[in-house]
Structure 1
Amino acid sequence: MASQIPGQGWQELKRELMQKWRELSENDLENTKGNAQSIVDLLERKVGMAIDEASEKFAEIASHYHLYDEPEEKPVKADAEKKERVMELKPKAPANRDRKPKDDFLG
């Protein structure tokens, strides 16, 4: 995501955020320098939203302005391509049962 967003789109986004959440001031938003994570943190602190909800709501609003680079989805490799590791279980060597008990145990 962009660290700073210059221009008209940022001004419009700020205006919409301030209209939606009256707890946010223009100064609050300016202090974020347009950083998406800072804006989400601000929503958490000032509005009292859970971080996941704040992130989701901000992403939804910001997507209309196309100010942030959307991460490219990387194709997930199929499980079939994963190499299978087979581990063989080897039995333990049998205990030496021919040993005589120690003298300590004889009483």
Structure 2
Amino acid sequence: MNEDRIKGQWKQLAGQIKAKWGKLTDDDLTIAEGNSQYLAGKLQERYGIAKDEAEKQVREFNDRF
């Protein structure tokens, strides 16, 4: 799914993102608003994972939708 489409369906996806990555706050998701790079950065911060791993997880999540 491309980033424009993600932004268009953000409200629906936000719940699924929150279920997958429960350490993300509502504020994180509001600010992210479909921005994959921001989301990956927050995953790094909240879960202490490497940048490459965070980007991979976001990419895999995007590919499911």
TM range (shorter): 0.7 to 0.9
Summarize the alignment of residues 2-41 of structure 1 with structure 2, pairs less than 5 Å apart.
2=3, 5-6=7-8, 9-41=9-41
User: CA RMSD for the aligned pairs?
Assistant: 1.9
1:55 and 1:22 map into 2 onto residues whose CA distance is 17
Report the number of matched residues. Answer: 63
Contact 1:32 1:38 in 2 (8 A): yes
Match of 1:44 in 2: 44
Cα distance per residue 1:7-45 (max 9 Å; x no partner): xx3223211221112111121111123111111111111
**In structure 2, do the counterparts of structure 1 residues 2 and 20 end up closer, same or farther at CA, with 3 Å as the change threshold?**
closer
Bigger radius of gyration: 1
> Sequence identity, in percent?
27
TM-score, length-scaled by structure 1: 0.51
SS of equivalent to 2:3: coil
Consecutive unaligned residues of structure 2, counting only runs of 5 or more, are none
TM-score, length-scaled by structure 2: 0.77
Summarize the alignment of residues 1-107 of structure 1 with structure 2, pairs less than 5 Å apart.
2=3, 5-6=7-8, 9-65=9-65
2:29 and 2:12 map into 1 onto residues whose CA distance is 12
Structure (1 or 2) with the greater helix fraction = 2
2:40 and 2:30 map into 1 onto residues whose CA distance is 13
Consecutive unaligned residues of structure 1, counting only runs of 5 or more, are 66-107
2:18 and 2:3 map into 1 onto residues whose CA distance is 20
Contact 1:13 1:62 in 2 (8 A): no
